[in-house]
Structure 1
Amino acid sequence: MSTTSSSSRSAPGPLVLDTRSVSRTPGAMTPVQRAAEVPTTIGVEMIGIPEGSELDLDLMLTFVDEGILVTGAVTGQARVECARCLGEFHTDVTVNLTEMYAIEGKAAANAEEDEVRLLDGDLLDLEPALIDAFGLEFPLSPTCTDYGHAECINPDTPAPDGVSGDTEGRIDPRWADLVEKFGTPGTSGTPGAAGGDGAPGTDEGRA
């Protein structure tokens, strides 16, 4: 579990939970079922839950001797850019949480200081735990097929066993920026293209 510590807030954020509703009797439990807005984007460049979108919290807060144990599921909708075809789509994503938030000074004796999440008085901040949890869940290079699509959603991208640009008149979107800058390889007037007066790769050009 990654490092987190208590963070003082003048106004609790949407992912900060007030635990005063949980009885301070070991084993006492309080459910938390509500929507919460994402204060900052959670994820990586090609997949993430955008800032301002909603997360559905379905959690249970349990009081134990050390503090508050948080268990349950959190669901949101991620924006995905396929690493292969560059197509964009949205998909539901869920992580299961089991996180301990210790009362300061009551962390387990064998716990490393940088592995303990601390309560901030009666408040606990879910955001760092969710960043870690979704970060482990999200692939660095997501593809359409990772998230239920039978094939890439961008029809201009060749199949994995195809040849890029093998269909006349279609430009593979992965190389579109290069084509726009340098032109289409193999056409007259394109730097380095075969054919054309004095172009490299022709007898005239070597004369």
Structure 2
Amino acid sequence: MSEHRHASARSTATGPWVIDTRDLGRRAGSSRRTSRSVPAEGLGLRDVIAVPAGGAVELDLLLESVVEGVLVTGTARTVVEGECSRCLEPLSAEVEVELTELYAYPDSTTDETTDEDEVSRLRDDLIDLEPVVRDALVLALPQVPLCSPDCPGLCVDCGGKLADLGPDHGHETIDPRWAALHERFGGTRDNPEEN
């Protein structure tokens, strides 16, 4: 399994989400800041709200060498686009999340005492930030995006945007049991003179 781990790390070594930590060293207490912009088109909730075409995530991170690995803290920020789930108007929002993730050294106590999916790991002194950032950003996105918290949505009869139609907007509905009489004689029970 370790051969598979090393092969997958080498295959992503040139990716924009991967950070090489060799210059940090393994001396606890050493640290360095890094900032980068990484392409993230489509990151989000597909067909609901996501990073648009050509979009990126801005990372501002502190990497700190600790006894068990490299602790990564900082922020990830991006702009997402989608449509309001009530009125279907396009919307755009900036999302920022705080990150704190330990990447365990191979053969460290943390590496040996945790399951594969419990903690992130360094592979050949490389950190792959994509899974951590992706998970944090997706969890921060609204599952039901709204253009405003009080968006009234669309009229169920005509499909017009209720915010634009005004409070007096309405549609006359006829009880289906009376529909045949209405068609035959016209008018309504409330307005007999129309007959």
On whether the aligned pair clears a TM of 0.5, the verdict is yes
Query: How do residues 4-153 of structure 1 correspond to structure 2 at under 5 angstroms?
Result: 7-8=8-9, 9=11, 11-38=13-40, 40-44=41-45, 45-50=47-52, 52-108=54-110, 110-145=113-148, 152=151
Shift of 1:80: 2.6
Q: Which deviations, in whole Å up to 9, do the C-alpha atoms of 1:82-122 show, x marking residues without a partner?
A: 11111112221101100111122225255333211111212
- Indicate the residue corresponding to 1:172 in structure 2: 160
Gaps of 5+ in 2: 163-170, 185-195
- Indicate the residue corresponding to 2:180 in structure 1: 202
Whether the aligned pair in 2 keeps the contact of 1:26 and 1:65 (CA below 8 Å) is: yes
With the length of structure 1 as denominator, give the TM-score of the two structures: 0.67
Report the identity percentage: 35
Whether the aligned pair in 1 keeps the contact of 2:59 and 2:77 (CA below 8 Å) is: yes
Aligned-partner Cα distance in 1 for 2:13–2:114: 30
Aligned-partner Cα distance in 1 for 2:87–2:135: 27
What is the one-letter code of the residue matched to 1:172? G
Alignment RMSD (CA, Å): 3.3
Whether the aligned pair in 2 keeps the contact of 1:72 and 1:98 (CA below 8 Å) is: yes
Pair 1:23–1:51, CA change in 2 (3 A): farther
Pair 1:64–1:127, CA change in 2 (3 A): same
Whether the aligned pair in 1 keeps the contact of 2:13 and 2:126 (CA below 8 Å) is: no
Pair 1:143–1:35, CA change in 2 (3 A): same
With the length of structure 2 as denominator, give the TM-score of the two structures: 0.71
Gaps of 5+ in 1: 153-158, 175-184, 187-192, 195-199
Pair 1:68–1:117, CA change in 2 (3 A): same
Number of residues paired by the alignment? 167
Aligned-partner Cα distance in 1 for 2:137–2:33: 22
